[in-house]
């Protein structure tokens, strides 16, 4: 016959599929009442669950002799139960100083890294930790006081990877009553009652006040709120992941997404100005956090104000504008795209651009024949250019509107095919004044990374053609042209 506490524990384990027969469960025991109760409860139910147990303990080295006494108590507990144990001790304070973490964050990072090692090394297949319903309620209140959204209201998850929390629907007071009934002692952590810590003030002052003066069932209400928020989060996470992998283009250290796709991730909006409406704003905000998380690893430093700034950049920014986000992540608008990048990728991009300018510089001489075509292979671009001589009058109906057809009689051999250089300029067909190629790149939406090796054709020191741009007006075919020169481009090694 199970006690009420055992029934709750079993229901939680089965509902969230925390364990399966054959699992080796590492019980994380700190020495406190909750973790000792978890160990005793799992001991009593391990036959029914079909699992074996191992005691796991992480010593934070924060309380001197008190920490050592905790470790000795737990070792005795494991020996008395005939259980194997895995112990470790790390200097949490030193890790916090070295990495700029606060003590609680450092303790959590190192503790869970230890749990992962325990599983990776084969000591356990699951790690059971003793978070209770009271811990869940305290967590939600802490998040609300700090300021949070739906993600924060989800609170503590029952299962994350190999870590499971069987006591998440059990009350702390019931666990203590259970231990007292079996004359089982435990250790008290003095920091739990240190009212300088917000968590202790919530536990010792705020939550009892809410239970006494507002709602005796406040803990149950907060636990239920967390459950509902987690269900919502599961839906949103699945949707965001689907949109992220469908719409974002990933490269090392960089992620690019079209602005329309970011502001209208579900599609269906006919105009960009309608994007960002209330119906899609929530998904857009989550997409921004997901893009940031992909580069940063987490979203803890990304505030709502940062997300709003990215949306403004998308809606109102001009190409070339950049926004700096926490942890060195930046967002740049490149025409109709937003490019998220990490600091390392930007340094690499600068280095790569210099490399392109130095290593991808090229210059090839070519002479146009009287008939046929001249070909120039440019390995730096993986491209072959063909300067094809055509009979202009017979081909006029097909080519007279092609702004890249040159007049062969106006060209003097040899020509130079080379990469673009700063300062290159010419008067394009249909223009009254010369324009710098840099301006034409902006108009043609040529990315910065492609400009250094952009191909141009030079005749006697004058640029007469550039890929994708109208040719120089002074050299274009016209009504009096007898022989034209058509410039074609194929992938190097392509057939034809």
Digitized pLDDT (tens) for each residue of the chain, 496 residues in all: 899 999 999 999 999 999 999 999 999 999 999 999 999 999 999 999 999 999 999 999 888 889 899 999 999 999 999 999 999 999 999 999 999 888 988 999 999 999 999 999 999 999 999 999 999 999 999 999 988 888 899 999 999 999 999 999 999 999 999 999 999 999 998 878 789 889 999 999 999 999 999 999 999 999 999 999 999 999 999 999 999 999 999 988 999 999 999 998 987 544 444 445 555 888 999 999 999 999 998 888 899 999 999 999 999 888 888 999 999 999 999 888 999 999 876 555 555 445 545 556 899 999 999 889 999 999 888 889 999 999 876 554 544 445 578 999 999 999 999 999 888 999 998 888 999 998 898 888 887 778 888 999 999 889 999 998 999 999 998 888 889 999 999 887 655 4
Contacts 24+ apart (CB under 8 A), 7-15: 8/169, 8/170, 9/41, 9/45, 9/166, 9/167, 9/170, 10/45, 10/48, 10/49, 11/169, 12/158, 12/166, 12/167, 12/168, 12/169, 12/170, 13/49, 13/164, 13/166
How many angstroms separate the CA atoms of 344 and 354, rounded? 16
Report the predicted TM-score, pTM, of the whole model to 2 decimal places: 0.68
pLDDT of residue 451: 85
Q: Which domains does the chain have, with CATH numbers?
A: 4-230 (3.40.50.620), 248-347 (3.30.465.60), 363-491 (3.50.40.10)
Residue 246: Cβ within 10 Å count:
9
pLDDT of residue 360: 61
For residue 31, the 8-state DSSP code is: S
pLDDT tens sequence across 317-338: 888 889 999 999 999 998 889 9
Helix, strand and coil content of the chain, in percent to the nearest 5, comes to: 50, 20, 30
Return phi, psi of residue 380, to 5°. -60, -25
pLDDT of residue 458: 94
pLDDT of residue 403: 58
């Amino acid at each position: 016959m199970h006690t009420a506490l055992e029934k709750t524990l079993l229901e939680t384990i089965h509902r969230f599929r925390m364990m399966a027969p054959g699992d080796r469960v590492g019980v994380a025991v700190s020495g406190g009442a909750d973790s000792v109760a978890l160990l005793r409860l799992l001991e009593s139910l391990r036959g029914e669950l079909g699992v074996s147990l191992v005691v796991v303990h992480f010593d934070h080295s924060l309380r001197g002799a008190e920490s050592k006494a905790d470790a000795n108590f737990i070792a005795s507990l494991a020996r008395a139960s005939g259980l194997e144990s895995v112990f470790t001790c790390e200097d949490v304070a030193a890790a916090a100083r070295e990495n700029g973490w606060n003590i609680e964050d450092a303790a959590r990072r190192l503790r869970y890294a230890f749990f992962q090692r325990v599983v990776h090394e084969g000591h356990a297949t699951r790690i059971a930790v003793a978070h209770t319903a009271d811990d869940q309620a305290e967590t939600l209140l802490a998040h609300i006081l700090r300021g949070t959204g739906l993600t924060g209201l989800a609170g503590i998850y029952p299962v994350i990877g190999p870590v499971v929390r069987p006591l998440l629907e059990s009350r702390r007071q019931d666990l203590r009553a259970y231990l007292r009934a079996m004359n089982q002692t435990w250790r008290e952590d003095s920091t739990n009652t240190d009212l300088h810590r917000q968590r202790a003030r919530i536990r010792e002052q705020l939550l009892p006040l809410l239970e006494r003066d507002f709602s005796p069932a406040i803990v149950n209400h907060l636990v239920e709120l967390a459950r509902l928020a987690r269900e919502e989060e599961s839906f949103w996470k699945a949707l965001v992941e689907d949109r992220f992998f469908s719409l974002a283009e990933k490269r090392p250290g960089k992620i690019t997404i079209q602005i329309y796709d970011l502001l209208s991730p579900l599609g269906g909006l006919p105009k960009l100005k309608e994007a960002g409406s209330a119906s899609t704003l929530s998904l857009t905000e989550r997409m921004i956090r997901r893009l940031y998380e992909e580069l940063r690893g987490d979203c803890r430093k990304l505030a709502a104000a940062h997300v709003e700034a990215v949306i403004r950049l998308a809606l109102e920014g001009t190409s070339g504008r950049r926004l700096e986000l926490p942890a060195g992540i930046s967002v740049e608008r490149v025409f109709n795209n937003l490019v998220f990048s990490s600091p390392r990728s930007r340094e690499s991009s600068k280095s790569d651009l210099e490399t392109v300018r130095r290593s991808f510089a090229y210059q090839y001489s070519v002479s146009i024949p009287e008939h046929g075509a001249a070909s120039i292979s440019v390995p730096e671009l993986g491209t072959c250019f063909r300067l094809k001589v055509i009979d202009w009058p017979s081909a006029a109906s097909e080519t007279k509107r092609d702004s890249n057809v040159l007049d062969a009689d106006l060209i003097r051999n040899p020509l130079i095919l080379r990469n673009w250089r700063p300062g290159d300029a010419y008067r394009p067909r249909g223009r009254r004044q010369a324009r710098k190629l840099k301006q034409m790149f902006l108009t043609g939406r040529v990315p910065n990374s492609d400009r250094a090796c952009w191909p141009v054709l030079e005749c006697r020191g004058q640029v007469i053609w550039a890929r994708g741009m109208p040719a120089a007006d002074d050299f274009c075919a016209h009504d009096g042209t007898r022989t034209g020169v058509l410039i074609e481009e194929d992938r190097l090694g392509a057939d034809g």
